[in-house]
Amino acid sequence: MSLQRPSGRRADQLRPISFTPDIAPHAKGSVLVSFGQTRVICAATVEEDVPRWMKMQKVGGGWVTAEYSMLPYSTLDRKARDISRGRLDGRSSEIQRLIGRALRAVVDLKKLGSRTIWVDCDVLQADGGTRTASITGGCVALAIALNRLMGEGKLRDFPLQQLVGAISTGVYEGEAVLDLDYPEDKAATVDFNVVMTEKLEFVEVQGSGEEAVFTGAQMGSMLDLATQGISELFTLQKAAILEADRPDGPALADLAAAFSK
């Protein structure tokens, strides 16, 4: 008997993915990314300065960092804001560090110049995969921001070397599946989050059994699914980046040309 996913999707099928650019007008680059019912606003803002530790250690170039938060109404039960507890919770801290690592993996920080780009990821609705949606949407917001810095003459060379994307996989009802929504994530015996570059190189793999174990064959199946899914995401990311116009004229006709500079 074939696997019956709660959503009716095939084991290798992504949820409907969409990107709505320029959702935050005051950000240099922004996008509303939707992975099914998971929705995240990713916004990139530019600060013409670098962190103090870079100055102290005389590190050249710029910096890319991220912040992640779940809005109180993003889940079925209200989630208290971190500020109300006086500290960032452990999960949010871990996720925003992951987003920052993923984005820095594909940025030439020397080409960025002496500036910091903040990528804020705010979850509007959570239905599984908020960290993978944040990385995928965060890359789009960052690319749009860099395009605009180029258009303003503030960058000589395009710092983004390639795209980065992320997707979840897991073992549900004994079978490897792609892009888990909340009902699947809750019931999965194995949960993986995979981050890859456009060259299909791994940035990070987070995986664990949930009171269960998994075989090498199952892990291979999950990684194969992740590679397939992330490859599909890159096509959608490029379309979203090209949809956002630069201030000096039409959107880039060929994103690959910008990456090669």
Residue list for the binding site for phosphate: 91, 129-131
3-state helix vs strand vs coil in the chain, percent to 5: 35, 30, 40
Q: Compute the distance between CA of residue 154 and CA of residue 231 in angstroms, rounded to an integer.
A: 31
Annotated binding-site residues read 91, 129-131
Q: Which residues contact 237 (CB under 8 A, 6 or more apart)?
A: 19, 136, 139, 140, 143, 163, 165
Place of tokens 């939707």: 34
Give the number of residues written for the chain.
261
Q: Taken in order 89, 84, 67, 230, is the CA torsion positive or negative?
A: positive
Q: 6 and 183 in contact (C-beta within 8 Å)?
A: yes
Give the β-pairing of 63-70 and 116-125: parallel
